[in-house]
Chain A
Amino acid sequence: MRDIQLRTNLLAFQRGWRQSRDARFAEYKGPDGLSGEAEFNALRRRLAAAKDGVIHDQAGVFARFKAAAESNGAVVHEATSADDATHYILSLCERTGSTILVKTKSMVSEEIFLNHYLEARGIRAVETDLGEWIVQLRHETPSHMVMPAIHLSRKQVGETFSEATGREVSGEDVGEQVGLARTELRKDFLAARVGMTGANALVAETGTAMIITNEGNEAMVTTLPDVHVVLVGYEKLVATFEDAMTQLRLLPRSATGQPITSYVTFISGPDRAGRELHYVFVDNGRSAMRSDPDFVDALRCIRCAACASVCPPYQVVGGHVFGHIYSGAIGLVNTPFHHGLKHAAGPQSLCVSCNACQTVCPVDIPLPRQILDVRRRVVEANGLSPLKRAILFVWGRPRLFRALARAVAVLGRPVTRDGFLRLPMPARHRWRTPPAPRLRPARQRLKTVIEPAETGPLANSGAKGITVAYFIQCLTDPLAPEQAESAVKLLSACGARVVVPEAQHCCGLPFIDSGDARGAKRLARQTILTLESTAADYVVSAANSCVAAIVHDYPHLFRDEPQWKVRAERLRDRVLDLASFLVNVARLPAGALAGPSSDVVTYHPFCQSLNVLNADRAARRLLTEVCGLELRELPEANVCCGFGGSTSFDAPEVARGIVERKLSNIDSTGADLLVTDNPGCILHLQGAAHASGRRLRVRHLAEIMVTRLAPRSPGSD
């Protein structure tokens, strides 16, 4: 029951966040005249460069900040450890005789377990940010870096407040609940002699802390007590006010969907004689990140939490599970450094690699790739489970893989119906019906060379005279051969000569996904060799996940093997997903496959098509312009379907939660036909739709287009 409440709360949160975040960037016009995503990209390029500059000269920038802050009268303390930082703050409290420390929200204080430390030594650490105060009363930790209590409903908040105050507090009236914070916290603000904040940026040029808030609690914490301590990680440093303003334009929009927060405070020193300002700088693993080329970029993070707000698995399990102290994608990446690999092992296994996080990151951190790097390290440390090892053993050996697929096809024949295996499933997996492998996989249906069509509606396309090598995909071969057949037919219909290399098998993505770098490289090398040896102008596939792996993942996979890296990059230039090939190379004209249709159609872009390949526009164009189809707009189209490769098997509850969200969005369109551009999504959606009794057809774009090649009477695809 609690899980359902959590998912409901977080679904509402994510939908609201996405809408307002997008709207704020859409309506913002920068001084350079750009707006919307173009302006977002320009801003984040600028901020990423500014943060990289600090990362690579941290000593220099820190020295400038320290000199300026000290000349302003502040005390700058570099903590030698987390314990040293907490001890420093404790001694400030003891020296001033303050038994209360009032705090604004500070992730660093969570990171070093400050509250726990102080409370064990008789100091009451009072959270004054409303969300933090709520979770403190519940003896919980924040579930989101910006909205700490967003996993709770107002009813739960009302119950917490009633219990804490001994009074009846409304579970409905949020205004009344907020009013309670004003009256309850006021006493602590007035009594405290030490106030603690974090800082959103530390401007080196004048030794100024920039603190971005909404509630007015920061003013209380920094003005009422005579001692103010700023607890920060070194990554908060920026060189100039220009950089701070770039951050200010990105942070509120990304964090809360506001153009700016109510308060942006600039503190440069103790304001008056007799008052104190202290900075406590915390490393706690940041230097290790800085010297690790795979992870150094994560130090750009400005703690906006957009990576959590956009994350599909996060919505299903919440921030306490999708992270450790830091939640969301950034938490999966920095936890090994701040708290140890063992605390990242569980959370990182829940990532579906949809790449949504990086698309909204205001400093363009390559989080998806870094999460896979964490996964690789977890596997190197802990090994793979025996089941996983067995599966990958078979998967990596084409003959064994095909033999197994054939065996299941044959043995499963009695229970195969409509392409599904009708088997009793354990409860954990009952939400999806498994697909049945075919007796005739794609490689048996396809010739090794398919000559170009000479006639037909597409024969004189821009692909005429071109040779294309077709990549089937390991899963498509046994489970969805008609998708490969359709793609090949289409390519040939466009006038291309299609070769289907026999030696192909698996691009290695399942191994990348499982953290098995060695297995991934073996298959990647084999794939590169196979595709290099074709004399084709292009390599095309309808399996966009493979295209993304080859184009996007291979260079990083071979970063320590320069020769293979070069070969991967050379191959990349020739590899295209089917839709991009048909639009950009074949240049299929509008209406070329137009014809009547009785289907109600909606389109789901595969997340890598959208977030990595930029191929969704091509797919849409093929459907709406070339085929002339009217598409029902799919709400939350940019949210993953939940297949996620290994996550589908390691964390089926997560895959299920995400696919249920996708299916209910599809339901809301009234569509009876869903078109998409990746076999993995199709298998996942078909299985889940079937198990739920939905009469929804899920087809690949290629299949839709191919049925329109031959003249036909009006009907369904």
Chain B
Amino acid sequence: MQVEPPDTSQLIDRFRQGATQAGATVEAVPDDLAAVAAVGAMARRLEAARVTSTPEGAHFAPAGALVGGTAREVADAELGVSVGRLAVAETGSVLLGSNDPQSRMVGMLARTHVVVVTAGDLVATLDDAAATVRTLARPGPDQLRYMGFVTGPSRTADIERVLTIGVQGPRALHVVLIVGD
């Protein structure tokens, strides 16, 4: 059965649906500047005393955000800022990764994790995303040896199947999607 390839606005809707179903919040903004503003607004809303960021995320993070901190420094920062390499409409996931363990700690240890990703990097299915994962994982100087799909905040239902959001990882995931005009 031939299925029509979805257009970008359909993909964005599907992404939003999947991400929201997984407990993330999604905010569409027109451009980089607006993304910076969105992250800043988030930091203010959270009254974030400590903001930490990956090197790529520093572009979007408020001034003074800690980049390259140790685990103890980053631990329980109110806000952590990362940049997604792509987003997956099928599941509402973002793909993050870095060969730098300290960079990864941002999304691991901060209480709220905000991921900035561009709609141009939004793909339809897990298979599309896997093709990128395969390319990134191939041996070579640019090999990305640690990456992953992140969908919503950390969670568990191990006790009586009662869903609790926020376990070891972030208790909130916010996606800032740069959609362009």
Contacts and interface: CB of A to CB of B under 8 A. Distances in A.
A242 B134 CA distance: 10
A269 B143 contact: yes
A31 interface: yes
Nearest to A146: B158
B143 A130 contact: no
A223 B108 contact: yes
B169 interface: yes
A66 to B, nearest CB: 14
A558 interface: no
B158 A216 contact: no
Interface string B143-179: 1111111111111111111101011111000000000
Nearest to A208: B137
B44 interface: no
B53 interface: no
A272 B101 contact: yes
A174 B139 contact: no
Given A215-B169, A249-B126, A259 B71 contact: no
Contacts of A205: 134
Residue with the highest number of chain A CB atoms closer than 10 Å, among B72, B146, B152, B166: B146
Nearest to B88: A260
B3 interface: yes
B105 interface: yes
Contact of B71 (A9, A130, A190): A190
Interface in B67-93: 71-72, 75, 91, 93
Contacts of B10: none
Nearest to A244: B130
A147 B162 CA distance: 12
Interface in A178-192: 178, 181-182, 185-186, 189-190
Interface size class of A (residues with CB under 8 A): 35 or more
Interface in A56-94: 68, 71-73
Contacts of B104: 219, 223
Given A149-B158, A259-B21, A186 B127 contact: no
A256 B157 CA distance: 9
A214 B1 CA distance: 34
Contacts of A134: 158-159
B77 to A, nearest CB: 14
Nearest to B126: A245
Contacts of B139: 68, 71-72, 206
Contacts of A130: 156, 158-159, 167
Nearest to A73: B145
A269 B93 contact: no
Nearest to A175: B164
Interface stretch (A10-18, A495-503, A611-619): A10-18
A245 B157 CA distance: 24
A636 to B, nearest CB: 17
A687 B148 CA distance: 55
B112 to A, nearest CB: 13
**Central interface residue in A242, A264, A265, by most chain B CB within 10 Å:** A264
Contact of A262 (B22, B99, B134): B22
Most chain A beta-carbon contacts within 10 A, residue among B125, B144, B156, B164: B156
Contacts of A241: 130-131, 133-134
Contacts of B138: 206
B173 to A, nearest CB: 8
Closest 6 CB pairs of A and B: A216-B169, A131-B158, A265-B148, A216-B154, A216-B168, A215-B167
Interface of A: 9, 12-13, 16-17, 31-33, 68, 71-73, 128-131, 134, 147-150, 152-154, 157, 174-175, 177-178, 181-182, 185-186, 189-190, 205-206, 208, 214-217, 219-220, 222-224, 241-242, 244-245, 248-249, 256, 258-272, 275
Given A178-B156, A244-B130, 13 more contacts: A31-B3, A130-B167, A134-B158, A150-B158, A178-B164, A182-B167, A216-B169, A258-B22, A260-B91, A264-B93, A266-B137, A267-B146, A268-B137
28 contacts: A32-B3, A147-B158, A147-B161, A149-B159, A182-B166, A185-B168, A206-B139, A208-B133, A208-B137, A214-B155, A215-B155, A219-B168, A220-B168, A223-B101, A224-B105, A241-B131, A242-B127, A260-B22, A262-B155, A263-B149, A263-B169, A264-B149, A265-B146, A267-B146, A268-B137, A271-B98, A271-B99, A272-B99
Interface of B: 1, 3, 18, 21-22, 71-72, 75, 91, 93, 97-101, 104-105, 107-108, 125-127, 130-131, 133-134, 137-139, 143-162, 164, 166-170
